[in-house]
Amino acid sequence: MEKGIARYSLYTMAFLAVGVAIHAMRYDAVPDNIYLGVDSAIRGVIARVPVQALTHMIVGPIALLLGPWQFFPRLRSSRPRLHRWTGRTYVAACLVSGMGALFTAPFASGGPVASVGFTMLAVLWIGTTFAGWRAAVARNFELHRILMRFSYAMTFGAVTLRLQIPFGFMFFGFTSYREMSVWLAYTSWIPNVIVVALYTFATSMRRRGTSAVAA
């Protein structure tokens, strides 16, 4: 039953991540001056800081797309080389997109309060992903697993953010993305991090309970 729920959650996560990543690929056309449904506030950000904004927006979807498969236990154990190479590419995409995000955040369309939220996210994203990679290199796989869960919780903020936008318009009276961005800079990722923290705490307590019984 529990395994079924975990598998269903992983499939849902992968499905949403692939959908949002494909949708975000419209930014690949921006260097050719083609803006496919890009919000005017975001166009303003790109106009001010094109290199860092587009580095972030074009590379970010690669991390989003590669992340979910790393969490499927069977894929990880049956194709360890694939896990390693996908993981390295994921880390590189997070670090490059994260640096782009860090230098885009001061220009966030929601102003200084949004900038603080996105800057915190960028610093934590880069730091957690880098530390997760170092833990794997040091063969500390327990720590690696935990840190990569947190890394992807932040990467998945790209999905949570987009899911929250229609609710903001429908139920909270927002009239533009720019207005909402002040909140989204926090609500897009803090709940994800809390869910992962609770999950990690619950699984470690359960494991401790099992080993105490076995002893």
Q: How far apart are CA 18 and CA 48, in angstroms?
A: 29
CB nearer to ligand HEM: give 60 or 68.
Answer: 60
User: Going by C-beta distance under 8 Å and a sequence separation of 6 or more, which residues neighbour residue 87?
Assistant: 70, 133, 136, 148
Q: Exactly one of 16, 30, 55, 63 binds ligand HEM (CB under 6 A); which one?
A: 63
Q: Which of residues 2-61 bind ligand HEM (CB under 6 A)?
A: 20-21, 24, 27, 42, 45, 56-57, 60-61
CB nearer to ligand HEM: give 63 or 91.
Answer: 63
Question: Judged by CB under 6 A, does residue 91 bind ligand HEM?
Answer: no
Q: Name the closest residue to ligand HEM (Cβ).
A: 60
Q: Which of residues 162-201 bind ligand HEM (CB under 6 A)?
A: 181
Q: How far apart are CA 31 and CA 59, in angstroms?
A: 13
Q: How far apart are CA 167 and CA 184, in angstroms?
A: 11
Question: Judged by CB under 6 A, does residue 128 bind ligand HEM?
Answer: no
Q: Exactly one of 69, 125, 150, 174 binds ligand HEM (CB under 6 A); which one?
A: 125
Residue 72: CB minimum distance to ligand HEM, A: 19
3-state secondary structure of 175: coil
3-state secondary structure of 173: coil
- Per-residue exposure over 185-213, b if at least 16 CB sit within 10 Å of its own CB, e if not: bbbbbbebbeebeeeeeeeeeeeeeeeee
Number of residues that bind ligand HEM (CB under 6 A): 29
Question: Judged by CB under 6 A, does residue 160 bind ligand HEM?
Answer: no
- What are the Cα distances from residue 78, in Å, to 68, 70, 99, 124? 16, 12, 33, 31
Interface contacts to ligand HEM, rule CB under 6 A: 20-21, 24, 27, 42, 45, 56-57, 60-61, 63-64, 98, 101, 104-105, 108-110, 114, 118, 121-122, 125, 154-155, 157-158, 181
